[in-house]
A and B are shown apart, each in its own frame.
Chain A
């Protein structure tokens, strides 16, 4: 499943970043890597971005980017 399919408030673990190198580099430069556990905090309407909280920081990810992040369900760390 990818991040865009995750419901609000759920915890997920990033398993893989799919597609072009650009996105993985950008995510890595923000300190987001496979294996990280994050909580989905908000979903913007109209197919807008997804707000995740990771390590106490909130990061907005556009839906297109969220679609390219493979996740699995997880529990709070």
Chain B
């Protein structure tokens, strides 16, 4: 049997799915975390059930990609049972989708999730009465703690097997009359269950996703036209809206019948938001929280990175000794090991703590608050508040940053956010900034480069968005309640995302390393230097630096490692002037994202956009580095400094 999980965003479908499947779906206290569907096999009472987690949708009308995905799946796949997950603490809202699902006339189980939250809000819900009204089983659940999961699947299996069709809730008599008229015209040409369902679809004007094509029947087509316009004239709104408004009234009515609201405790959410969303203190706390966040990551990261790298260096040294008589093989093997080491040194020390911390902020419900606070600022660069998430992620690694642009509704926003997120200096580029500028020229200059980076990103955003035809449609975002995340979900989520990085990006890192070994072995660096000469000449850098820039495309932190080889010094200050160091670093921060990021850009946006973004970053890098060179010249050569 195949069960489909359907519910509104942030109602806990994915949490439920992960409870039974191990961690396969991405969850978060943020609307629209699931954009594509995920499947898993679950064993219930000896039977194997295919469980599908569909993206959250408020309605089956479907205006964004996640919603359309849900509709497409339901109309194209055989589903034996719909498990409709409803957030019990927002029942009347959740029932609006339930009512639409009932109209599909398929076996359905309604799950009241977050019963603990509802109880905290002082609500008592009469489940049996709801079951009676809807004509199907209603099951209570606390998905985050796994309470009620077993009961749910046993019930679901029973309902699925018996094929119990729920009761469709009736609209007002005006609408029902019209529907019956359509049904009588359709009847006989498809089974009676389908007739009502098709009539509703035709009335809503959604015949294209239906099973029935009215165009083949001119009488029906003109009838649809006629009733739709008569409803439009009567209510002054599109029939789809009229039905939606009626469902809302029905949902409110049902909810008032079954929910008893007790004394609502003084909400600590409001008190917390009074501080965290405060026009002044909100920003102070935002900065403090992010500072603490990055501070912890870098403290943890650097503590682990050094011993790890030393360990790998030792292995590589031993391999080189062991294979000394086969220099080519030795070079390739050390390339592979370098690639593995690179992955380990990025993933374990920085990315994992980063993902853990991010998962925590996300599940607590702080990310939407950041979106709220940053919306005004993000509008200045042509985006809206939600696009702040890729930027924060970008400081860890650009790969998950680009992936996270999926949660933006509009393609325009996804493109712009991805392009700008690749300009955010990731942990690997941080290594260059720290190793060169902070080490030789002082930490305040390194900070200066970060601020300069923000400025360039903002400017680029303004320029690109002014060239894009339409304006960002703006922020519409539900503010979830604060929830205390469980260790399990946060760890699982971090693991899930780290795995995504491992599968998508790590192999490319390793391949990149092998290519490097080839270049090294055949001594092609002179050729490469010539290739990059226009850039190095333009920026007043020594031509030997060219090869490190090519290598930097394969892996960003290699720019620094290779610089030592290319210049043949251990102390950079012997080969580079201060001005050159700053120019070089600024160029490395901005130019072409690494190979792994390019691969993700191609997957998310397509080859053409990937290439334009790569091209844009080169132009930005050259301009920004030239500008930095002028500034550095002023700082270091003018008298009095």
Contact with B along A36-77 (1 / 0, CB 8 A): 000000111111110100011111111111000000000000
A42-B273, A44-B375, A49-B372 given; A65·B473 CB < 8 A:
yes
* B245 close to A (CB within 8 Å): yes
CB neighbours (8 Å) of B248 from chain A are 31, 33
Are A62 and B475 interface neighbours, CB within 8 A?
yes
CB neighbours (8 Å) of B90 from chain A are 55-57
Are B473 and A26 interface neighbours, CB within 8 A?
yes
Q: CB within 8 Å of A: which of B356-377?
A: 368, 371-373, 375-377
Q: Which of B58-66, B130-138, B167-175 contacts A (4 or more CB under 8 A)?
A: B58-66
Give complex CA distance A31, B248 in Å: 8
* B154 close to A (CB within 8 Å): no
Give complex CA distance A62, B248 in Å: 24
Give complex CA distance A49, B473 in Å: 13
* A18 close to B (CB within 8 Å): no
Name the contact of B476 in the complex, choosing from A33, A56, A58, A62 (C-beta under 8 A). Answer: A62
Are A29 and B384 interface neighbours, CB within 8 A?
no
Are A64 and B478 interface neighbours, CB within 8 A?
no
A23-B473, A59-B476, A61-B475 given; A28·B61 CB < 8 A:
yes
Are A30 and B58 interface neighbours, CB within 8 A?
yes
Count of inter-chain pairs, beta carbons less than 8 A: 115
Interface centre among B244, B375, B471 (most CB of A within 10 A): B375
Contact with A along B131-171 (1 / 0, CB 8 A): 00000000000000000000000000000000000000000
A45-B279, A46-B376, A62-B379 given; A26·B476 CB < 8 A:
yes
| B279 closest partner in A (C-beta) | A45
CB neighbours (8 Å) of B502 from chain A are none
**Contact-residue bracket for chain B:** 35 or more
A55-B90, A65-B476 given; A29·B59 CB < 8 A:
yes
Distance between B470 CB and nearest chain A CB, rounded to angstroms: 10
What count of chain A residues pass the 8 Å CB interface test?
Answer: 32
Are A44 and B373 interface neighbours, CB within 8 A?
yes
Name the contact of A35 in the complex, choosing from B63, B245, B277 (C-beta under 8 A). Answer: B245
Are B279 and A26 interface neighbours, CB within 8 A?
no
A57-B90, A62-B476 given; A29·B373 CB < 8 A:
no
Contact with A along B57-80 (1 / 0, CB 8 A): 111011110010000000000000
- B-side interface residues toward A, CB under 8 Å? 57-59, 61-64, 67, 89-90, 92-93, 96, 121, 237, 241, 244-245, 248, 273, 277, 279-280, 368, 371-373, 375-377, 379, 384-385, 409, 471, 473-479
For the complex of A and B, the 4 pairs showing the least CB-CB separation, nearest first, are A62-B474, A48-B376, A62-B475, A58-B479
- A-side interface residues toward B, CB under 8 Å? 22-23, 25-31, 33-35, 42-49, 51, 55-65
